[in-house]
Amino acid sequence: MDDVRSAEPRDADFLAWAILAATRSHVARGWFDVLLARPESACLDFLRRLVLAETRSWWHYSRFYVAEVSKSFGWDEAEQKAMWARGSYIFTCAFEDNEDLWTIENVATVPAYRGRGLAGRLI
């Protein structure tokens, strides 16, 4: 694992995707699809707003961590910095600090990276 970072508001699009993907698991429709009964684009818009809402919920960006993987691709530091300049918003998430309690929910892995043990290593 190259880096684990805390989410920021600029990560809302990625977090919305990750939440929707995690609630779907291995099936085509998940909890938010059923609850909202809207097309995927509307579900993602709702989740993006939920991630950014002033009132904190389970889905607020401040409650997520994301693991980033880049060294295994052979990208040098300059190339990684350039990538971050173009789109760093898409790879982060975090929770409120609490030394006594951890909750792990809504873990999602991009389909192309599944089966590599990344989620297990993160946990």
Q: How would you label 72-87 residue by residue, b for 16+ Cβ within 10 Å and e otherwise?
A: eeeeeeeebeeeeeee
What's the number of domains the chain is made of? 1
State the pLDDT at residue 42: 97
Chain segment 67-88, per-residue pLDDT in tens: 666 556 677 778 877 876 776 5
Residues 6+ apart with CB under 8 A from 62: 6, 7, 56, 94, 95, 96
Measured CA angle at 84 (ends 19, 116), to 5 deg:
50
State the pLDDT at residue 34: 93
CA dist., res. 89 & res. 116, Å (int): 24
Give the residue numbers spanning the domain of 100.
3-122
Question: Which residue would you say has higher pLDDT here, 55 or 76?
Answer: 55
